[in-house]
Amino acid sequence: MKWLPRTLFGQIALALFVVLVVVQLLGLWLLLDDRGRLNYKLLAEYSAQRMAGIATVLDLAEPAERPLLVKALSVQPTMLTLSLPWATENIDGSIDAQNFASEARRQLAAGLQVQMLALERVDPLLLSLHPPPLAHRDKRDHDDDDKDESKSARGKFFARTYVAQIRLHDGVVVTFHHLLPMPSGDLPYRLIALLVLLGGATTGLSIWAVRRLTRPLARFTQAASGLAKNLNQAPMPEVGPQDVRQAVQAFNTMQRDVRRLVDTRAQALSAVSHDLRLPITRMRLRLEGEVAPELREKMQRDLGEMDAMIGHTLDFLRAGSDTEALVAVNLDALLDSVIEDMEELGARITREGRCSQPLKARPHDLRRCIANLLDNARFYGGDGIRVSVEDTGTEVRIRITDQGPGIPESELEKVFEPYFRLESSRARHTGGTGLGLPIAKAIAEAHGGSLSLESKPGEGVTACIRLPRRAA
């Protein structure tokens, strides 16, 4: 899934957020459900108490007074009638009905009988629009009261209706049709706001904790990716959880071992290359004696190539080392100086763009990197070379474009391998050692940057150096 975060921090943060949202919604649902059940229980108890109170009043009243009391007490949500007989069938035996009847018996005086005929859920809207016609009321006397009650009923919400009967001591049956009001459907906004605030604070703290725990891993990834380019990078700080610290310690140890191995190899090769120059010097001195001119010229040329190869090898071994300190370099002045040297050798170079601010770099190494690229372009690139500089604020890009035959796409990466030489006219003219581009690439990467080539056969080559701006 493309929309999922790819980093460890993003995935953990997303998982925590989803879990928190689900838990909060589940908790809110359980809270509202318990709240509704509690309210319904309280309303049911109140209804049972009201029914018991009405039955007690009617039981104590004179028989002649009971019809008037029924008319007076028959108001929504409780409707009364004395005209229905004691039911002997269709008794509701559900658990809710039995519980409601038990609560009513507990409230009734001794000797009064109660039974539930129905306890069911009904449509609140239908009940509010069509109240059950159980009460026998005088329409002429109570038209205005009916209108007021109807308006009042429309404004209420009812979840259940029950029909119950209570038999008084003298055998009179009172039938109740009561509408249990449903608790208000309004959401508890203050509670929801509290849960949202709590969830937001928990999410924020969780994300902060995840960021703090995964930051060493991010640094570890960055250091591992940069190790191949710069063995001399600073060791990672050994912070974070114990597992991460152990991994960082192992990485720092590995970096020291690899750097020691590379330094040992470089020192050995440097010593061998240096020792080879002594016999070369002795051979040159001997050539000053009585040697045929043709043989002397050939031997001097071979010795010169051997000396150049040794020098390039030493340069390659030293490329990218931290023997030179980083200083603020005026890149424009450095480029102008290198271009001037190349123009003295016959190159025609066009300069474009400027660098807005000094760049922290190793001036000698950077000069060698640019000089190698310009030297390649001068030998293989035809009549004109274009040098362009682009300063983006975060990095400086130097592009060197020639007009030579180009390099096949399949060999653009191979040319950075030490001693690799193209088997084409681009390489036959040189007699080089195949170390110019590897040296330039090593220097660029030692600066935290990169060197890449772009080429199409017959359209020349563009070498692009990317150098990041370092903090002062």
The token duo for 156 is 């209420």
pLDDT, tens digit (0-9, with 9 covering 90-100), for 23-48: 888 887 887 777 767 766 777 777 78
Say if residue 341 is exposed, middle or buried (CB neighbours under 10 Å; 0-12, 13-18, 19+).
Answer: middle
Which residue, among 204, 274, 212, 217, has the nearest Cα to 243 in the 3D structure?
A: 217
Quick one: pLDDT at residue 323?
Answer: 62
For residue 396, the model assigns a pLDDT of 93
Cβ-count burial 229-251 (b if 16+ within 10 Å, e if not): bbbebeebeeebeeebeebbeeb
Which tokens go with 245?
């610290």
Supply 158's token pair. Answer: 């009812």
First to last CA, the chain: 41
What contacts 211, CB < 8 A, 6 or more positions away? 9
Burial bucket for residue 449 (CB in 10 Å: 0-12, 13-18, 19+): buried
Per-residue pLDDT tens digits for 160-187: 677 888 888 888 999 988 776 655 556 6
Q: Does the CA dihedral 37-42-47-52 come out positive or negative? A: positive
- Summarised one tens digit per residue, pLDDT across range 70-109 is 888 888 778 888 888 888 776 777 777 777 778 788 878 7
Q: Please, which pLDDT band fits residue 412 given cuts at 50, 70 and 90? A: confident
pLDDT of residue 126: 42
In CATH terms, the superfamily for domain 323-468 is Histidine kinase-like ATPase, C-terminal domain (3.30.565.10)
Find the range with the poorest average confidence among 240-244, 458-462, 468-472: 468-472
β-strand pairing of 158-167 with 173-181: antiparallel
DSSP label of 75: B
Greater confidence, 198 or 127?
198
- Measured CA to CA, the distance from residue 472 to residue 469 in angstroms comes to 9
**Please, what's the largest Cα pairwise distance for the chain?**
159
For residue 263, pLDDT over 70 is answered with yes
> DSSP readout, 279-335?
HHHHHHHHHTSS--HHHHHHHHHHHHHHHHHHHHHHHHHHTT-SSS--EEE-HHHHH
Q: What is the pLDDT of residues 280-289, one digit of tens each?
A: 777 777 777 6
φ/ψ of residue 36, rounded to 5: -65, -40
Tell me the pLDDT band of 127, cut-offs 50, 70 and 90.
very low
What pLDDT was estimated at residue 399?
94
Is the pLDDT score of 402 beyond 60? yes
What per-residue confidence (pLDDT) applies to 141?
41
Tell me the HSE value of 444 on the side-chain side, using a 13 A CA sphere: 27
What's the burial of 127, exposed, middle or buried (CB within 10 Å: 0-12/13-18/19+)?
buried
Q: How far apart are CA 178 and CA 235, in angstroms?
A: 80
DSSP class of residue 415 equals G
**Tokens read off for 177:** 């049709």
Please state the rounded mean pLDDT for residues 4-10. 75
Whole-prediction pTM? 0.48
User: Which pLDDT score, from 0 to 100, does residue 143 have?
Assistant: 45
Amino acid 307: pLDDT: 72
Q: Take residue 326 and report the two structure tokens written for it.
A: 């980083």
The DSSP code sequence of 91-122 is: ----HHHHHHHHHHHHHSPTT-EEEEEEEEE-
Alpha-carbon span 168 to 111, nearest angstrom:
8
pLDDT of residue 153 exceeding 50, the answer is no
Model pLDDT, residue 400 = 93
Q: What tens digit of pLDDT does each residue of 224-239 get?
A: 777 766 677 778 888 7
CA-CA distance, 379 to 371, in Å (whole number)? 12
Q: What is the pLDDT of residues 422-453, one digit of tens each?
A: 655 444 444 556 778 888 888 888 888 899 99
Structure token pair of residue 253: 């140890």
Q: Rounded mean pLDDT of 366-370?
A: 90
Contact indicator for 252, 235 with CB cutoff of 8 Å? yes
Backbone phi, psi, residue 431, to 5°: 75, 20
Average pLDDT over the chain reads 77
Residue 80, Ramachandran bin (φ over 0: left; ψ between -120 and 50: alpha; else beta): beta
Per DSSP, the residues of 169-222 read TTS-EEEEEEEEEPPP----HHHHHHHHHHHHHHHHHHHHHHHHHHHHHHHHHH
